[in-house]
Structure 1
């Protein structure tokens, strides 16, 4: 408990606790729960193709993480690369959720790029370990991991609550059907969090891949 209290004495810990939740929350809320019904209802895609598309986003996310980790080490910079990845992801989610009826090829490309850019969240772990005394690296990694999972834990049911409030009463095979306006309203919560993540990144302290606190 002493170590847990101590790591929160550093500004980067607070910021990096919140930031990755926005990136991961968007990816897992869309791919893990609401993406398939959104794609089948709004775009008229088959459930199988919709599931393949959301899975492609997850694969791109998995590939993006080691790439951003490697590039961050190579450039000796955490903050700017993280801002770039988060910014691309934010724009991608805005296009997917706010623009109606994108051409299929454009939709697929943006989702893959957005998933890949979301892999920049992996920088959080090295970034925060360099921001606290090295003896607390395990403690602070656990704190950031908790922040990572807070994103989908909150966003998945929150989007569902908005969808239910916007529901117009339509059913299909006993399942509620939401219209495009409902999805835009529900996904606005995702956009808000990742937007906050982007802004908070501006206030992080760059470590240049060096241990800032002995």
Structure 2
């Protein structure tokens, strides 16, 4: 390799972190909005005079929009490119957050939440697309874990820091400020991010690795064929249901009802209760990076998913069944951290999606699996909300939350069962091996 080539490779290996870094900033915003409404539950219910089910539906609006946009997101990432897709999406999310913050009625709150969901829905798939172009195949699991780790920092911001911010600025101003920050990040994405190294005159990762990648059509017909190829591949679907079961349960706890559970069952203050939820979100962040690195090191996908998934189900069992649904408060932080740490068994589902489908449609294949998590997160919290509306004031808090969280436990069990149907890829693309 000539000195010039060495310099170009060195520049690629350096600049890819700037590209990934600015996009992952947008992903922090994604996670913030994903979990934020749980912290302002009482304010929303009081300001808009809504029921628990309506509140849960307001939170789920984000997930419905996110879910419905996943296949379009994959198509946009594969055609329009990650740079423009994330820029436009983050801009829309910023506007939505401002609308939500200043909503004069529940209709506008729903509309703002819908805009946020539509906007942020394109970010993660675009990051996975960027990873497939700027990082080596052997780094994909690790980078997916690191991406989830950094994104989860947004989830941590949506707990105690948001509770403190709301106390100082009010919930409305807080969401307006987050909206303004989102718009700034959108501008940075456009200025810094690039879809491929070749756009900067740099060699491709495929070229460096000495492999050939088929050119894919960026036109509608090629994308539709790619979508059909992915959804007709039976190996695609186990990861979908793992993500649905695990993430639906996790969001029901950390993004909707968890803080209220800590307050109502243990009599802990709202700000302190948010700290308990931080333990779960921090666990998810750390677990995401650990399982990605572990998987890439041992060159296995399925075994780490089974190991983490088993502990995740056990953690839910302890939360729901030990001491009638009220585990000792002394073990609660550890239990919540462990629950979060093992939940990201689903992270490897994204890597598997890429590895059991054609590499040239990585955006579409990961987007189909990604729908699963947001399908679970959209339908499960309102199911719990109906339990609270029906039995709230009738059952004591411990029994009420135990009955509601039983749905989350069942969801986790269903997700775990589907792990056993995941196809082992040994961390390489096996599409041609079918």
TM-score by length of 1: 0.91
Paired positions, count: 207
> Does 22-31 or 95-104 show the bigger shift?
95-104
What is the rounded CA distance, in whole Å, between the counterparts of 1:109 and 1:81 in structure 2? Answer: 21
**Deviation per residue, 1:143-169 (Å, 9 max, x gap):** 122212112111111111122222235
Q: Secondary structure at the match of 1:69?
A: helix
Which string of whole-angstrom CA distances, capped at 9 and with x for unpartnered residues, describes residues 31-86 of structure 1? Answer: 11101111111122221111111122111101111111111000110001101111
**From 171, 175, 194, the counterpart of 2:412:** 194
CA contact 1:163–1:185 (8 Å) conserved in 2: no
Q: Which has the larger radius of gyration?
A: 2
Deviation, structure 1 residue 132: 1.3
What is the deviation of 1:97?
2.0
Structure-2 separation of matches of 1:183 and 1:69: 33
Partners of 1:199 and 1:119 lie apart in 2 by 15
| Equivalent in 321, 325, 339 of residue 98 of structure 1 | 321
The answer as to whether partners of 2:239 and 2:346 remain within 8 angstroms in 1 is no
Q: Does 1:49 pair with 2:272? A: yes
- Per the alignment, residue 336 of structure 2 pairs with 111
Offset, 1:16: 1.0
Residues 1:123 and 2:348 are matched in the alignment: yes
Residue in 2 aligned with 1:212? 430
Relative to the length of structure 2, the TM-score reads 0.46
> Structure 1: any 5+ residue segments left out of the alignment?
171-177
Higher relative contact order by CA 8 Å / sep ≥ 6: 1 or 2? 1
- The residue that corresponds to 2:64 in the other structure is none
> 2-side partners of 1:88 and 1:94: how far apart?
10
Instruction: Quote the offset at 1:119 in angstroms.
Output: 2.2
CA distance in 2, matches of 1:18, 1:165: 28
| Gap regions ≥5 residues in structure 2 | 1-223
Structure 1 moving runs of 4+ over 3 Å: none
What is the SS of the residue equivalent to 1:104?
Answer: coil
* Cα displacement (A) at 1:117: 0.8
Matches within 5 A, 1:17-28: 17-28=240-251
Secondary structure class of the residue paired with 1:136: helix
Q: Tell me how far apart the structure 1 counterparts of residues 235 and 380 of structure 2 sit (CA, whole Å).
A: 23
Counterpart residue number, 2:39: none
Q: Quick one: which of 301, 309, 328 aligns to 1:86?
A: 309
The question of whether the paired residues in 2 share the 8 Å contact of 1:24 and 1:151 is answered with: yes
Deviates more, 1:76-85 or 1:178-187: 178-187
Q: CA RMSD in A?
A: 1.6
> Offset at 1:2?
2.3
Preserved CA contact (<8 Å) 1:11 1:204: no
Instruction: Describe the superposition over 1:170-202 as per-residue Cα deviations: whole angstroms up to 9, x where unpaired.
Output: 9xxxxxxx6222211111111111101111111
- Which residue number in structure 1 is paired with residue 295 of structure 2? 72
User: Aligned partners of 2:360, 2:278: CA distance in 1, in Å?
Assistant: 38
CA distance in 2, matches of 1:211, 1:121: 18
1:112-136 residue CA offsets vs partner (Å, 9 max, x unmatched):
0110111222111111111112122
1:145 and 2:370 matched: yes
1:179 aligns with 2:179: no
